[in-house]
Amino acid sequence: MRHFLCVTTGLDVLPLVYAISRQAWLWDMHPLRTQFPGSPHAEVSDILCRFQQPQAGADVTTTNADHECVPYPAWHALPELLPLVFGLAARIQATRIGRVLITNLRPGCTIPSHIDSAPHSIYYLRHHIVLCSPQNCYFQIEDEMVQMRPGECWKVRNDLEHSVVNDGPTERWSLIVDLHCDAMPLTREGAGQGKARRPRAS
């Protein structure tokens, strides 16, 4: 597949699912993504764990465009998410953590086709760690479609046109983790070389 990559499977997501179920007040505390006019996430509930800092004195839907994200109250209320976030960051050798949020797409609801805004969607690699999902829930990017299962982590191209449909009987919870990985620096000796050089004969 060109737009999806299954990074890992078999993650233990139950502790986080249980912690969320005991703290329902966390949902929609900060509706920055869901309540602005024309939002493609209007049918979604969010728990923002790390996000951009709202501008002082500005409307709650306004955020800085900088890449820097800060902890929100849910980051501290849900310590169960830390092993998942930092474990993924270590696995892919990420150098910066961006947005971390949990989304809830209820039965019969959709996230219509859209493209996430740059430069955030270009700078960060987006990952979905599936917490719970019915079988009839589909994530589509352009002409590719997958059914993500609980305990799986997928890297997705959110800088391309994508959508989600939940045709199942239960809610779909997804932990979104944006990570940045620095490019591997090239040395003058190895730049442009596809294979290791043989030592010169003396």
Q: Determine the CATH number of domain 4-53+66-146+156-180.
A: 2.60.120.330
Cβ atoms of 61 and 32 closer than 8 Å: yes
Residue 1 has what pLDDT?
A: 87
Quick one: pLDDT band at residue 180, thresholds 50, 70, 90? very high
Cβ atoms of 102 and 134 closer than 8 Å: no
| pLDDT over threshold 60, residue 130 | yes
Parallel, antiparallel, or unpaired: how do β-strands 125-132 and 144-146 relate?
unpaired
Q: Which of 14, 52, 2, 7 is nearest to 32 (CA)?
A: 52
Query: How far is Cα 62 from Cα 59, in angstroms, rounded to an integer?
Result: 5
139-150 pLDDT, tens digit per residue, is 999 999 999 999
Quick one: pLDDT band at residue 109, thresholds 50, 70, 90? very high
Quick one: pLDDT band at residue 118, thresholds 50, 70, 90? confident
